Chains A and B, each alone.
Chain A
Amino acid sequence: MRRGVWRDGAILLAVAVVLLLLPKAYSNQMLLFQLMVYLALSQGVNILYGFTGYLPFGYVGFFGIGAYGASLAMLDLHFAPLLGILAGAVVALLLGLLLSPLLRLSGAYFAIASLAASQAVYLVIANPSLQNITYGPYGIQLPNQFNPIASYYTMVVVLLLAVGVVLYIRRSRFGMALQAMRDDPVSAAMSGVPVVRERIAAWLISAALAGVVGGVFAWQTSVFYPDAVFTLSISIFAIVFALFGGVGTLLGPMFGTVVLFGMYNMIGISDPQYFQLIYGLLIVALVIFLPDGVASLLRKKGIHVL
Chain B
Amino acid sequence: MMRFKRYLWTLASVAALLAMGGGATASAASAPAPKFITIGTLYAGSGNYATSSLPELAGLKFWISQVNAKGGVYVKAYHKKIKIRLVDYNDQSDPNTATTQYAQLITQDKVNILVSDFGSVLTAAAVTVAKEHKMVLFDPTGTGSSFFTPPSPYIVLTSLPTSAVWPDSFAKYLIALGKKRVAIVYATNDFDGAQDATLVAALKAHHITPVYNNGVDTATSNYTVIIHNMAQTHPDAAVEFGYPNNDITFFQNLSASGVHFPFLFTIFPGQQLALLTQNVGAKALSDTFTYPTPPLLAYNKGITYGLSLNAFAKAIKPQIKSAPNFLDIAGYQAGLVIQKTLETSKSLSQLDLRAAAGRIRFFTLDGQYKLAKSGAQLGELLPVAQLQPTKSGGVAPVIVYPQSVATGKAVATH
Q: Which residues of the partner chain A approach B104 to less than 8 Å between Cβ atoms?
A: 28, 31, 265, 269
Q: Which residue of B lies closest to A237 (CB)?
A: B96
- Whether the Cβ atoms of B128 and A269 lie closer than 8 Å is no
Inter-chain CA distance A124–B129, complex, in Å, is 28
Add 11 more A-B contacts to A136-B215, A273-B90 (CB < 8 A): A30-B100, A136-B188, A138-B146, A138-B190, A139-B144, A222-B131, A223-B146, A224-B124, A225-B189, A228-B124, A269-B101
- With A30-B100, A224-B124: A128-B146 Cβ-Cβ less than 8 Å: no
- Whether the Cβ atoms of A272 and B92 lie closer than 8 Å is yes
Inter-chain CA distance A270–B40, complex, in Å, is 12
Cβ of A296 within 8 Å of any chain B Cβ, yes or no, is no
Cβ of A251 within 8 Å of any chain B Cβ, yes or no, is no
- With A30-B103, A31-B103, A227-B95: A270-B89 Cβ-Cβ less than 8 Å: yes
A272: contacting residue among B45, B107, B127, CB under 8 A: B45
Cβ of A137 within 8 Å of any chain B Cβ, yes or no, is yes
- Size bin of chain A's contact surface: 35 or more
Complex interface residues of chain A between 1 and 49 (CB less than 8 A to chain B): 27-31, 34
Complex interface residues of chain A between 180 and 239 (CB less than 8 A to chain B): 221-225, 227-228, 231, 233-234
Inter-chain CA distance A31–B103, complex, in Å, is 7
Q: Mark B175-214, 1 if CB is under 8 A from A, else 0.
A: 0000000000000111001100000000000000000000
Q: Give 9 pairs: A residue, B residue, CB < 8 Å, sorted on A.
A: A30-B99, A31-B103, A34-B96, A137-B218, A138-B189, A138-B190, A138-B193, A224-B95, A228-B95
- Whether the Cβ atoms of B97 and A139 lie closer than 8 Å is no
Inter-chain CA distance A221–B131, complex, in Å, is 11
- Whether the Cβ atoms of B94 and A231 lie closer than 8 Å is yes
- Size bin of chain B's contact surface: 35 or more
Of the candidate stretches A109-117, A141-149, A170-178, A241-249, the one touching chain B is A141-149
Min CB distance A248 to B, Å, is 27
Q: Which residues of the partner chain A approach B128 to less than 8 Å between Cβ atoms?
A: 146, 221-223
Inter-chain CA distance A271–B218, complex, in Å, is 27
Min CB distance B336 to A, Å, is 27
Cβ of A163 within 8 Å of any chain B Cβ, yes or no, is no
Min CB distance A277 to B, Å, is 13
- Whether the Cβ atoms of B188 and A30 lie closer than 8 Å is no
- Whether the Cβ atoms of B107 and A28 lie closer than 8 Å is yes
Cβ of A123 within 8 Å of any chain B Cβ, yes or no, is yes
- B interface secondary structure, majority: helix
Residues of A within 8 A of B (CB): 27-31, 34, 123, 126-129, 136-139, 141, 143, 146, 148, 221-225, 227-228, 231, 233-234, 265, 268-273
Min CB distance A226 to B, Å, is 9
Q: Which residues of the partner chain A approach B147 to less than 8 Å between Cβ atoms?
A: 223
Q: Which residues of the partner chain B approach A223 to less than 8 Å between Cβ atoms?
A: 124, 127-128, 146-147
A141: contacting residue among B90, B94, B107, B146, CB under 8 A: B146
| Interchain Cβ contacts within 8 Å, total number | 103
Min CB distance B120 to A, Å, is 8
Cβ of B121 within 8 Å of any chain A Cβ, yes or no, is yes
- Whether the Cβ atoms of A29 and B131 lie closer than 8 Å is no
Inter-chain CA distance A128–B217, complex, in Å, is 10
Cβ of B149 within 8 Å of any chain A Cβ, yes or no, is yes
Min CB distance B121 to A, Å, is 6
- Whether the Cβ atoms of A31 and B100 lie closer than 8 Å is yes
- Whether the Cβ atoms of B188 and A231 lie closer than 8 Å is no
A34: contacting residue among B100, B120, B149, B194, CB under 8 A: B100
Min CB distance A175 to B, Å, is 31
Cβ of B278 within 8 Å of any chain A Cβ, yes or no, is no
Q: Which residue of B lies closest to A270 (CB)?
A: B89
Q: Which residues of the partner chain A approach B127 to less than 8 Å between Cβ atoms?
A: 223
Min CB distance B127 to A, Å, is 5
Min CB distance A70 to B, Å, is 16
Q: Which residues of the partner chain A approach B108 to less than 8 Å between Cβ atoms?
A: 27-28
Min CB distance A39 to B, Å, is 15
- Whether the Cβ atoms of B190 and A137 lie closer than 8 Å is yes
Q: Which residues of the partner chain A approach B95 to less than 8 Å between Cβ atoms?
A: 224-225, 227-228, 231
Q: Which residues of the partner chain A approach B89 to less than 8 Å between Cβ atoms?
A: 269-270
Minimum-distance CB pairs A-B, first 9: A30-B103, A137-B188, A128-B215, A27-B107, A28-B107, A228-B95, A148-B132, A28-B103, A138-B190
Q: Which residues of the partner chain A approach B190 to less than 8 Å between Cβ atoms?
A: 137-139, 225
Inter-chain CA distance A194–B194, complex, in Å, is 52
Q: Which residue of B lies closest to A233 (CB)?
A: B94
Min CB distance B132 to A, Å, is 5
B100: contacting residue among A148, A269, A270, CB under 8 A: A269
- Whether the Cβ atoms of A136 and B100 lie closer than 8 Å is no
Complex interface residues of chain B between 146 and 170 (CB less than 8 A to chain A): 146-147, 149
Give the residue among B124, B131, B149, B218 with the most A Cβ atoms within 10 A.
B124
Inter-chain CA distance A221–B102, complex, in Å, is 13
Q: Which residue of A lies closest to B151 (CB)?
A: A143
Q: Which residues of the partner chain B approach A141 to less than 8 Å between Cβ atoms?
A: 146, 149
B103: contacting residue among A29, A129, A231, A233, CB under 8 A: A29
Inter-chain CA distance A222–B90, complex, in Å, is 23
Min CB distance B222 to A, Å, is 16
Inter-chain CA distance A225–B193, complex, in Å, is 13
Q: Which residues of the partner chain A approach B146 to less than 8 Å between Cβ atoms?
A: 138-139, 141, 223
Q: Which residues of the partner chain A approach B102 to less than 8 Å between Cβ atoms?
A: 30
Inter-chain CA distance A7–B96, complex, in Å, is 35
- With A30-B129, A138-B193, A146-B131: A128-B96 Cβ-Cβ less than 8 Å: no
Complex interface residues of chain B between 117 and 135 (CB less than 8 A to chain A): 120-121, 124-125, 127-129, 131-132
B96: contacting residue among A136, A233, A269, A273, CB under 8 A: A233
- Whether the Cβ atoms of A265 and B193 lie closer than 8 Å is no
Min CB distance B40 to A, Å, is 12
- Whether the Cβ atoms of B100 and A128 lie closer than 8 Å is no
